[in-house]
Amino acid sequence: MLEIDLKGKKAFVAGIGDDRGYGWSIAKALAEAGAEIIIGTWAPIYNIFKTSWELGKFDQSRRLTDGSMMNPLDIYPMDASFDTPQEVPEKVRENKRYKACKNYTLSEVAASLARDFGSIDMLVHSLANAPEVKHSLLNTSRDGYLAAVSSSAYSFISLVKHCAPFMPKGGAVLSLTYIAAERAIPGYGGGMSSAKAALESDTRMLAWEVGRQYQLRVNTISAGALGSRAARAIGFIDAMIEYAHQNAPLQKALRADEVGHAGCFLLSPLASAITGVTLYVDNGLHAMGIAPNSPMLKRSSK
């Protein structure tokens, strides 16, 4: 029987703040396959997440098919906008939520992983942020645009750069992208579309560079719409989910675990010859050139 066996492997999954997003679903799939998980949680919500965890809020979602619970080796605070402590502005450093966290810049997170675990086999980047996401691209400020690209795309390069040296050959890296990288999606603003385009291009360049230098693989999943906390902040996610349901080749809800399973496959040795790829996991919506539910089409077929 062909199966994904990740026993003895460790994965760092950056970008889990609750049990509803893609990071959680990938972590859970990896845990189902036997991997050990280390979670990275955005510093301002770190204590809230840990408290919710300790109070058992995620117990139902943590349960694996064999009845055991997903138990991470550790949960680290992190902020994808900063590589070193020197870069953290005083206002952020002095913020009470940040003050309660240590070693949250990306170089420090990588150093903690190397110190605490020696090596990691898999690295997952499942995070994005754009302070002006509700602004059209035309109305996005330079600062807003650069902040989106910094925390949503450069952070991937930075994490790979800092972690690759202690990832054994054959290891794999994964990020999450969105179709707005290559097609115009009105409303996905603030430079997020630009950040995703950068992320997809960087996936190819990093695949080349860390493939040659470290023999690691780098891929990204272009996921369909999911009503996660981050997506809700954009404001029109329910309409996007309904649009996909009406117009995708597979007319069914997209489950987070379908992305989790695809992520687990890409990170596993079963995908040992796959690198530099953007894999669509979206019920096939990316393949459509028109929206079949358009009223225009109904009129012309009469």
Q: Considering only residues 238-277, where is the footprint of ligand NAD by CB under 6 A? A: none
The string of DSSP letters for 221-249 reads: EEE-----HHHHHHS-HHHHHHHHHHHSS
Find the shortest distance in angstroms from Cβ 128 to ligand NAD. Answer: 4
> Per-residue contact track with ligand NAD, 107 to 126, x per CB under 6 A?
-------------------x
Find the shortest distance in angstroms from Cβ 264 to ligand NAD. Answer: 15
Distance of CA 151 to CAs 131, 217, 234, 276, Å?
Answer: 10, 22, 16, 21
Instruction: Out of 31, 37, 78, 185, point to the residue binding ligand NAD (CB under 6 A).
Output: 78
Q: Which is nearer to ligand NAD, 60 or 300 (CB)?
A: 60
Neighbour order of strands in the sheet with 10-14: 74-78, 36-42, 10-14, 122-125, 172-177, 217-223, 278-281
Segment interacting with ligand NAD, rule: CB under 6 A, options 28-36, 73-81, 92-100, 288-296 = 73-81
Instruction: Out of 129, 203, 278, 283, point to the residue binding ligand NAD (CB under 6 A).
Output: 129
- Under the criterion CB under 6 A, does residue 13 sit at the interface with ligand NAD? no
Structure tokens belonging to residue 79 = 């902020």
Amino acid (1-letter code) at residue 70 = M
Which segments of the chain does DSSP mark as H helices, in order? 22-32, 43-54, 59-62, 90-94, 96-99, 106-117, 142-149, 155-163, 192-214, 229-234, 237-247, 256-267, 295-300
- Under the criterion CB under 6 A, does residue 45 sit at the interface with ligand NAD? yes
Instruction: Out of 6, 31, 70, 79, point to the residue binding ligand NAD (CB under 6 A).
Output: 79
Segment interacting with ligand NAD, rule: CB under 6 A, options 19-27, 61-69, 112-120, 159-167 = 19-27
Clarify whether 188 is annotated catalytic: yes
Helix (H) or strand (E) holding 177: strand 172-177
Find the shortest distance in angstroms from Cβ 7 to ligand NAD. Answer: 26
Clarify whether 76 is annotated catalytic: no
Catalytic residue among 46, 98, 104, 178: 178
Structure tokens belonging to residue 251 = 């007319």
231: left (phi over 0), alpha (psi -120 to 50) or beta: alpha
Q: Considering only residues 212-241, where is the footprint of ligand NAD by CB under 6 A? A: 223, 225-226, 228-231
Structure tokens belonging to residue 262 = 């695809």
Binding site for ligand NAD (CB under 6 A): 15-17, 21-23, 42, 45, 78-81, 126-129, 151, 176-178, 223, 225-226, 228-231
**Active-site residues: which are they?**
178, 188
